[in-house]
Structure formats: structure tokens, C-alpha cells
Amino acid sequence: VNGVRQLHAEMRFSNGGKYSGEMKDFQMHGKGSLTYLNGAVYDGMWKEGMKEGFGVYKRANGDEYRGDWKGGSRNGSGVLRYAGGLKLKGWWENGNVKNVRKVKLNLEGNENENSLKIKMKYFADEIVKMNGFAEFIKKMKKIVVEGENDETSSSSTSILVN
């Protein structure tokens, strides 16, 4: 198209990664999926070799970010879900969370008190590592504890902010 080479390709990299998707001028461009050597997968939009637009990045351990990307980093609206049940919904800039709108922690109904304490400490440590958490705490307005969920038979705790 207009002298620009566009094609669908499958590539394997020397570092063990592999890409399958659209390309333009020998760069990942358009819809495509990149599997990393460590088992992580990015499936989404690309622009000139960088993650750009909507995409899903999933680590081998089950952690997942689903949202907007720009220049290869999380930028815009997105949801970060940790495999253990923590879910953050908010706004990212240059890969860092800047404005958290909702935090939700799903807990299995059959967990004992000790395992819940360990899980809560892990999630608290993970949230504190993120940029912007101090601002989130300042904006916290309401804590909502939801009861049993008929679909999943689990309970959850949500912290909602404006």
C-alpha cells in the first residue's frame, strides 16, 4: 500500500521469543502476538515495533494487564489483575499507575485465617510498590465489603475512589 510493505508474518528471535502478526516495514505493526522466553504473552496492537493501542499482557504466573498502551508502556485506562485475586482498575502513565479508581481483592471462601493474612500482606506489598499509591490513599472515600457471589462462591473486598 503506497509503497509500504505490509504483511502477516511469524518470526522467532534469538532470545527465544516469537511473534505472529501483522508487520509494516519489517516491524511489528497492527494486530499481533509476542510470546517471550519467560512465558509471558502480549496480544494486541503494535505501532512501529512498540505496543500501541489496546492490548493484553499476561505473565506466565497468571498476572494480567488489560488496557491501553503507548510507546511500549502502559498508558491510559487499564485493569491489572494479579493471579491471587487482587484487581486494580485505573489510569497508567509511562508504565506506572497514576490514578486508581477501584481495588478489589477476591478471597476464596475456604481459606483459613493464616492464609488470608499472608495473602493480604502480599497484596499490600504489591500495591505499595506502585507509583501513585499515596495519592490513592488520600482519595479513598469508601470501603465496600461484598457478600457471597453466587457465580464464584467467593467473597471480595472493594475499595472505591472517585
pLDDT digits over 91-108, tens only?
Answer: 899 988 887 777 776 655
Q: Please name which of 77, 85, 118 lies closest in space to residue 103, comparing C-alpha atoms.
A: 85
* pLDDT of 25: 87
Lowest-confidence pick of 4-18, 27-41, 83-97, 118-132: 118-132
* pLDDT of 64: 94
Of all residues in the chain, the percent with pLDDT exceeding 90 is 41
- 14-18, 32-36, 109-113: which has the highest mean pLDDT? 32-36
* pLDDT of 96: 84
| Residue 146 pLDDT exceeds 60 | no
Residue 85 neighbours by CB under 8 Å, 6+ apart? 105, 106, 107, 108, 119, 123, 156
| Residue 129 pLDDT exceeds 50 | yes
Q: Share the mean pLDDT of the chain.
A: 74
Sheet with 41-47, strands from edge to edge, namely 6-12, 18-24, 27-35, 41-47, 50-58, 64-70, 73-81, 86-93, 96-108, 154-161, 140-146
| Residue 42 pLDDT exceeds 70 | yes
